[in-house]
Structure 1
Amino acid sequence: MTDTAVHQTEDPPAPEPPGWKRPEVRSIALIWLVLTIVGECLVWIPSWLMGPSASTQMDDIKQTMTLFTAMSAPVAAVIWAIMIYSVARWRYTGDEPPEDDAPDFRTNSPVVLLWSILSGVLTLVVFIWGMLKIAAIPAAGGLAALPAGAMPPMVVEVTGNQWVWNFTYPELGNIQSDVLYLPLDRTTLFDVTSADVIHSFWIVEMGVKVDATPGQLTKTDVVPHSIGSFDVRCAELCGLLHAAMETQAKVVTQEEFDAWAQDKGAEVPIEPAAQEEGGA
């Protein structure tokens, strides 16, 4: 009797399903979808935390913050979804280190291509949005965009000193004040500098925040649209009494502003429209 060796061959392993059909991919996609929906529903929170708006500049800042948060929510959700699924599904609970190494990572060309395209589109949107906002800033050369009939911008020279702010109105005979008075709905151009150390001129509710540097002039602008008193602070550590370097920005009507300037000894210029009415 001849012994015959019986060779049993194992069935070849079944081919892996396409990436999108794999259970872990579907689970991660579901987690990503839920997190994205939650994130998009909460995009208003960063803008809300910034407090009330008192100028068109602050409106633009809050609008930009909301847009960027909405755009970043799906991207952040991808990272969180992978992390949550990995921790929940593949965590190791043994007392000793695992004997098996983790599986090798393999690239996926379609995913890499899709991710590159989406990243490029997001970057392009952010770039275009930023350039449009910069082009609309009067201090950056956007004064031609002022509506017809609008009053010309008013210049205010801002000087930081340890530890007070000084505001000079060159068009009103160089009157000075330690409280910033601004007319409602009129563009104001700030020429900001410092007499000693570096400060940072910050009108909190108006979204104005620029450095005040000795020997340099920094320009910015604001169009206040709310009447009231708003905080002006120094946002750069400038010495012992830095925290006390505060004052107020008071937004009033044009008539109230003219009356305040006259009380300070200024000769308030008559607007062309008023001259025509007087001549008539």
Structure 2
Amino acid sequence: MGIKLFATDLDGTLLNSDDKISKRNADAVHAAIAAGIIVTFATGRMYCSAVKYAEKINMDVPLVTYNGALIKSTAGKVYNEEYISEDVVKAFVDYCAHKQWYLQVNSNDKLYFPTYLQRSADYEKSTGIKGETVGWHGLSEKTANVAKMLFVTDAYAQKDMREKLEAENGMICEMTHRFAGKVTLVRSKKGLIEVTSPMVSKANALRFLAKHFGFGMDEVMAIGDGNNDLPMLETAGKSAAMGNAAANIKAACDYVVDTNDNDGVAEALYKYVLL
């Protein structure tokens, strides 16, 4: 049975190291759409960040954003929403303020900082989205329609990782225990720990879209490179890991393609989907 739904991660997958979609990748995506395949971006990014890439290559498709907390088309049709409870957001922010753990909040598809640091500027640059600095008290009031909160740690723009990763692991364990059943924490890439509602994952988003369009999971293919991609890669009927993915991601997938700087998504589409 052929693939009818193709889900691609953005960072480290469809996007190259310059945060751009190459012409070959764009051409492959358009070829898939022309063949009747639904293509979706499945990303931890904000909707307002992800939609810019879809618009650049003239795609009107459902976009899985915030790791699945918001599924919304390029044209603005909302398929599904799953926000963190407002009381949980406030308690989480207040606890991070007490610990002085730098946290960003995405409320109503906008970006808020407690204080503006170099990592804030780096994050703005990587996403193309400008945030607003509101202080810790102001951050605790940004509780409406929170699709994601995000720890941006010291490791985000640094190379010396071992000690930083140990600190991140401790943070993840502590907050997972303290907010058990209320949020899910996952490290998406170096220095980024994403916090979402417990039922949110790229895997659940793929299940939702497959059911919505009447497809079986054996008709779904996913491609990615990070730990937040792993659930959807394991859930999809077929999966491909990028050449730049870690060994555990490659081991979980049916195929391994070239890197994000060498059009791995196009390779996956031409070799395994557009047969």
TM-score (norm 2): 0.24
Whose Rg is larger?
1
Higher relative CO (Cα under 8 Å, sequence separation at least 6) belongs to: 2
